[in-house]
Chain A
């Protein structure tokens, strides 16, 4: 069940000057949250941010009643969310959207870029708990765009590509050498910029394996009322906030 609830800022963990992890603490019990779910966060104390901001849940602690979010400050809203005081009230609607699926995979590849890496901490943990072999492949322009790799390494092997070669292999994620040799993954999970996800889904489809992508479309309501966030699929326009954000890429007509 979705709920609208006041939380308080517990702490910030700044990863660099414009990437941070915001942890909120609430008083009520937190409903079950799965990897891929997101929250609509109301940005407090700012008059020129009208709508809530949809942000993937990075992690949850049901006992401590905390939720954390990995946020990249790219606009007024995401910048302001990084400037709140500890203890300040933040209203969120959550948990929203569907989630990544786990079936009988043996070996999976998780490909992320930009702020799209957020759902993969919870996904990696769940996969590991099911004894599924996980490889994370994280891409960025430079080494300064690569985050949370220490966290990912708890759940699997971590590979990195950067466009300038400052960390990991040089190039885009889709150029990584793991695609060249024996490719024995059963499934690919991806979240990040659209061009990256499209390229990843093409490779997965060519190799005949399932690819799930979490889309980052602009949203207003987050609960399926406004129909602003749609994505074209082979079955018509689908609502990303409720029918997604995770889609089997075979469905998508992008």
Chain B
């Protein structure tokens, strides 16, 4: 038996390191025909805001080499709808549910965090300061150290549970932001969110996305994401939840070797709705084949 448990900060333990990334897995219910959600280490649900958001205009996606761009723009029904309607439907699954919270201004983040603080059964939130697809807030908070620190400190005061700050890769030095939020009270960081990119239709000379630019995800970003996880691992002491183009168990193991305590499966969910569980089984197989008794022994275990 491989011990699959991992610690992801603030005393929070997941039963295994495989979780699903916000915005790629809905609220989990979309996947119940395909997998048993109880098997997952956790689910980072679709990004939530204080009020309902319609998101951006269609078209919101473009297929790109080994990946895709999206410009969804945090379409969601608001935190109150989540608390009253969605959460009661998913709270009995034996997996960790992580609300992913967003805001245009610091006050929005505080208001959402205060509401999350009151939800029984929620132990942690993901503080998203890296959404590239909203005009106000979002990534703006995550690309400068002072604002990343300010929003983390503010949410720290409003929220008693575990805070995982989701970092943007669209920065000069991601380790500076990681160190900043660590100092501001984050219990963990998750990285990376999508890379800002764009696509043009050469025939029509028009941008493919309604917002012109969008967030690039998928295996195209994996080597960069992996490098950033490794850099951050060497810069901070709090745990890392790693992501960026993980398509299979081997990718997930690489992210753990680079320093991730847990991983998020994202865009791969769109291609194979069962991939998260396949990745979990693959990690377990790898551990068995390599006589690794506890999966946590893989964290940061790259040999140089």
Binding site for B on A (CB under 8 A): 1-4, 42, 47-52, 93, 217-221, 223-232, 236-237, 242
Contacts and interface: CB of A to CB of B under 8 A. Distances in A.
B262 interface: no
Contacts of B33: 1-3
Contacts of B55: 227, 230, 237
19 contacts: A2-B34, A4-B34, A4-B272, A4-B274, A42-B271, A50-B63, A50-B218, A220-B270, A221-B24, A223-B31, A227-B72, A228-B60, A228-B61, A229-B61, A230-B58, A231-B58, A236-B54, A237-B58, A237-B75
B25 A232 contact: no
10 tightest A-B contacts by CB?
A: A228-B61, A221-B270, A2-B33, A225-B26, A228-B60, A220-B270, A225-B30, A224-B30, A227-B72, A237-B54
B273 A226 contact: no
B275 to A, nearest CB: 10
Query: How would you classify the secondary structure of chain B's contact residues: helix, strand, loop or mixed?
Result: loop
- Most A-side CB within 10 Å, residue of B57, B66, B271: B271
Question: How would you classify the secondary structure of chain A's contact residues: helix, strand, loop or mixed?
Answer: loop
B63 A229 contact: no
Interface of B: 23-26, 30-31, 33-34, 46, 52, 54-55, 57-61, 63-68, 70, 72, 75, 218, 269-274
Contacts of A231: 58
A141 B111 CA distance: 56
Contacts of A49: 63
Contacts of A227: 23, 46, 55, 60, 72, 75
A223 B273 contact: yes
Given A2-B33, A3-B33, A226 B272 contact: no
A174 to B, nearest CB: 24
Contacts of A1: 33
B269 A228 contact: no
Contacts of A232: 57-58
Contact of B67 (A4, A50, A223, A236): A50
Given A2-B34, A220-B68, A224-B30, A230 B273 contact: no
Given A52-B271, A237-B75, A220 B58 contact: no
Q: Most B CB atoms within 10 A — which of A3, A47, A227?
A: A227
Given A50-B65, A229-B60, 15 more contacts: A4-B274, A49-B63, A50-B66, A50-B68, A51-B271, A218-B61, A220-B270, A225-B24, A226-B72, A228-B59, A228-B60, A228-B72, A230-B58, A230-B75, A232-B58
Contacts of B65: 48, 50
Nearest to A77: B63
B218 A93 contact: no
Given A50-B63, A51-B63, A217-B58, A228 B272 contact: no
